[in-house]
Structure 1
Amino acid sequence: MSGNARKNDLVTVHVPVELPVLTTRGWRILLEILTELTTVEVLDGPSGEGCRDC
């Protein structure tokens, strides 16, 4: 695929008007997806320094 063809590809995203009601399983799946998409390190727990930027 050439660079020009890639620029012309359209992507349509449909989002709901309101947030869906998620079960615990649904939230875990969503968290796994977001973790896979992120480029920063995800910590397992607090670092012990507290939350200074909250």
Structure 2
Amino acid sequence: MKDKDKRRAAYHRFYTDMKWGHAQNYHMCLNSGVLGIEKCVEIISDIYESSGR
């Protein structure tokens, strides 16, 4: 798993020139450990629907 995360981070850094995992680099961050997966899905769905897409 650690190897996969390292490769993912390297890929992200190469194409975006930003550090993987830094909240300031993302439009939205949800802590599924606190909110739960279902609540995160609900929040994302609500945002998507309210954007008119």
Instruction: Compare the two structures and name the one with the higher helix fraction.
Output: 2
> Relative contact order: is structure 1 or structure 2 higher (C-alpha 8 Å, sep ≥ 6)?
2
Q: If the length of structure 1 is used for normalisation, what is the TM-score?
A: 0.33
Q: If the length of structure 2 is used for normalisation, what is the TM-score?
A: 0.33
Which protein is bigger by CA-based radius of gyration?
Answer: 1
